[in-house]
Structure 1
Amino acid sequence: MSHTWPSHLDVGAVRFARPTARYDDVLVFYRDVLGLPVLAQWRGHQGYDGVVLGLPGTPVHMELLQHGDSPRIPEPNPENQLVLYLRGPEAVARATRRLAEHGHRPVPAANPYWPERGAVSFEDPDGWLVVLAPWVFGEQPTPAPA
């Protein structure tokens, strides 16, 4: 497996963007509850409200957008996930406790791969899944199924 971009695709950063019908609620979930840093945020820019969340100093970001009336959001699918690879089971336990303190409860994963390896899933306010995995993909070996 190659760990570099192809020469014809000189990528410096990646941002995933998605609309939300519950902008303020998802902002609180990702910024205040999960604690993702806000890298950029705007209100009323040509009718758009948005926030870019990510890890400072890394070239991967998530953008959440709201424009005009609430968008028609497709029905959440359990395989559409934001996976956060945390540094071990205790990191997952700390994040899980914080989410529980804010009224969020784990939800069953459709794919047994995640719970078999100690990952815990939560729904965001739009119903999309956030998976907290207890290893750093590409840095640590994937845990064996429990």
Structure 2
Amino acid sequence: MNQAVWPTHLPITRLRVARPTDRIKEVTEFYRDVIGLTVIGGWVDDGSHAGYDGVLLGLPGWDTHLEFTQHKDGSPCPAPTRDNLLVLYVDSRADLLAVSASIQARGGVPVVPENPYWLDRAVCFEDPDGWGIVFSLKPGVA
């Protein structure tokens, strides 16, 4: 299978990963201030969003976004397992060390991953809801 060609039956042009939270302020601050993503949009329910507030974070110029929503009545938001991860890849160990140092300088605290695969090739953090975020070397990079 040629992975360089997108499947013709999936004309996808944007990716958004969305999840609920009951701590939208803390989650926004973590991904904006600690991780360093940009707030690229959002909304406060004005009656047209069925009780949901939301925020979109991403990298400028990329059509890949994280969306967090919070309902005015709360959301069940069960704690994830320690292996529910958002994985972001870098091209070199120098990049990995720089990302880790930058996040730690902003208050991020590395955590030990549940899966030992990440131990020698990644640095892991947890957001305020307990979801893991992993910065890893791309597969094949030593």
TM-score range, shorter chain: 0.7 to 0.9
Distance in 1, Cα, partners of 2:65 & 2:4: 19
Partner of 1:105: 109
- Aligned-pair identity (%): 45
Pair 1:32 & 2:41 matched: no
Partner of 1:125: 128
Contact 2:91 2:141 in 1 (8 A): no
RMSD of aligned C-alpha atoms? Answer: 1.9
Per the normalisation by structure 1, the TM-score is 0.83
Matches for 1:7-86 after TM superposition, within 5 Å: 7-45=8-46, 46=49, 47-86=51-90
Given that residues 38 and 59 in structure 2 are in contact (C-alpha distance below 8 angstroms), is that contact kept between their aligned partners in structure 1? yes
Letter of the structure 1 residue corresponding to residue 135 of structure 2: L
Q: Which runs of 4+ in 1 moved over 4 A?
A: none
1:65 Cα deviation after fit: 0.7
Three-state SS of the structure 1 residue aligned to 2:45 is strand
Q: Distance in 1 between matches of 2:128 and 2:94?
A: 25
Deviation digits for residues 49-81 of structure 1 (CA, Å, limit 9, x no counterpart): 111111222222111111113211122112211
Gapped runs of 5+ residues in structure 2?
A: none
| 2:62 alignment partner AA | T
5+ unaligned residues in a row in structure 1: which ranges?
A: 136-140
CA deviations on 1:2-34 (whole Å, 9 max, x unpaired) are 233321221111111000111100100001111
